[in-house]
Amino acid sequence: MLVDAKRSNVKLVIAGLLLGLFMAALDQTIVSTAMTTIIEKIGGFDKFIWVYSAYMIAMVVSTPIFGKLSDMYGRKRFFLAGLILFMLGSILCGTAQNMEQLIIYRAIQGIGGGALMPIVFTIIFDLFPAEKRGKMMGLFGAVFGVSSVFGPVMGGVITDNISWRWIFYINVPIGIMAVIFIAQAYHETSSPRKQIIDWAGAISLTACVLALMFGLELGGTEGWAWDSAKTISLFVASGVLLIAFLLIERSAKDPIIKLSLFKNNVVTGGMGISVLYGGIMMAAATYIPLFIQGVFHKTATETSSVLTPMMLGVVLSSQVGGRVVSKFRFRDVMVVSALVLVVGTLLLGFVMDTETSRLVITLFMVVIGLGIGVSFSLLNISTLNAVPPQYKGSASSLITFFRTIGSALGITVFGAMQKSAFQSGITDIPNINPELATQIKGGQALLNPDVQAQMGLPAELVAQLLGKLADSILFIFQWTIILPVLALVFAILMGRARLQSTGSGPHGAPGGPGKQGPGPQGEGSGKPEPSYHGG
């Protein structure tokens, strides 16, 4: 499927895509501020974490499947399907009467989100010639930073002045506008060919991801110790299913994920960076607010906008990355990005301490944001530039897929490390009650003054415990430096490939009449695979 340039209204298409992406990205941040109110209204404190997990798991599972389907049957119908599913899930979330219902409805939203994010970037690649893609990818990559800045603020304002239910209902008018714009303005040319759906691959991939995500989400919780048979069995099952999926994909006629794409160093490097950057962003977004709460004695509401400097850095960097990609090799831009992140994690782990001022911490956060933001635009451009047209939807979906997996792994691994460091640290406090040490686990509950009062903790002990909490978070940031160093290796792996100006003509016509876009190997990354090139 290609864009029908004569019938499509590009400006309206861009507006529809921006609205759809903003809606999906916003929903990942707007809920957090309202969660306390939601728990007060419908209960379910012991299950509320699944409001986030259900969305993430559903999105991870559906992303590669929607990416492949968009390659087979066209982008438009599945982008519209994603919008409708997302709006349906939003309406249902707004009507939820208990936490169980809210979790199920969030999963429906997640399925819709799995279609929106990857297809947006694929359509952009189809719409614009090479010299304009960077600018557009930067614009769309910046949406993630903007949503992270405004999401918590909007969540608080809507919850306080209207109702928590409207943090979900607000998606409906946005989604309707996006549906109208895309339905009316975006047209594709049909490219009929016999379609074969890889059901075995889809089922095995879904089961593999579900087992992995449930293992990560349940591991370490009550009844699911990391070394318990139940938890280990989930990870073993995920590994077995992964092997089964790879074997199926090797022989499938039209696989969900074309494994030979990973022979391309640009694709492999981009996916590796996506995993690592997902972990870095999750570590920063989770633990910087906790550090500031503990050290500066701020409430959760007061720290709701604490990530704004980092996200503004993401927005700026995404724009810059999109604009410079046409002038430099992918490798060179990502090496600079990784080096900036090395500096940022060094500052957080080895320079920042409990005596560091808020202003200095803010500057450190900006550095982290500047390092991360480039990836939102450049990885989409580099990956889509490296694969043939029939695999662009699948390739784009893999970026979202691996970034989300990296986020899940990051929060799980760093969470376990932080808890262990905190538990080890509090044993140094004289006369600490062993039972208290067990109750406070990772120490985050101590940030709530009500919890401190319920436990009857004296102010001096609270100060000591919060100091140990801060130390455990600094310990996390010291280990985080490994991730950008590994990302640097993957960036170098991308080789000499750069944006191909002949890769696509205006409005998605591949290279103009009689020309073929670059094969999956990209420039300077090895021998092309002949089967990807057609007359």
Q: pLDDT tens digits for 424-444? A: 888 888 877 767 766 777 677
**Secondary structure (3-state) at 521:** coil
pLDDT of residue 510 exceeding 60? no
Sorting pLDDT into bands at 50, 70 and 90, what band is 222?
confident
State mean pLDDT over 138-156. 81
Residue 240 CA to residue 233 CA, distance in Å, equals 10
pLDDT of residue 366: 94
pLDDT of residue 80 exceeding 90? yes
In this prediction the pTM is 0.83
248-257, 263-272, 424-433, 497-506: range with lowest mean pLDDT: 497-506
**Secondary structure (3-state) at 188:** strand
Residue type, 215: G
Q: Which residues pair with 443 in a beta bridge?
A: none
pLDDT of residue 180 exceeding 80? yes
Residue type, 24: A
Sorting pLDDT into bands at 50, 70 and 90, what band is 382?
very high
pLDDT of residue 317: 92
Ramachandran class of 432: left when φ > 0, alpha when ψ lies in -120 to 50, beta otherwise: beta
pLDDT of residue 77 exceeding 70? yes
Report the mean per-residue pLDDT for the chain: 84
pLDDT of residue 38 exceeding 70? yes
pLDDT of residue 74: 87
Contacts of 421-428 with CB under 8 Å at 24 or more apart are 421/471, 421/472, 421/475, 421/476, 422/468, 422/469, 422/471, 422/472, 425/468, 425/471, 425/472, 426/465, 426/468, 428/468
pLDDT of residue 27 exceeding 90? no
Please give the full DSSP string across 101-156, using - where no structure is assigned. HHHHHHHHHHHHHHHHHHHHHHHHHHHS-HHHHHHHHHHHHHHHHHHHHHHHHHHH
| CA 295 vs CA 287, 448, 469: distances in Å | 12, 13, 9
Q: pLDDT tens digits for 287-306? A: 888 888 888 877 665 666 78
pLDDT of residue 143 exceeding 50? yes
Total H helices, total E strands in the chain: 18, 2
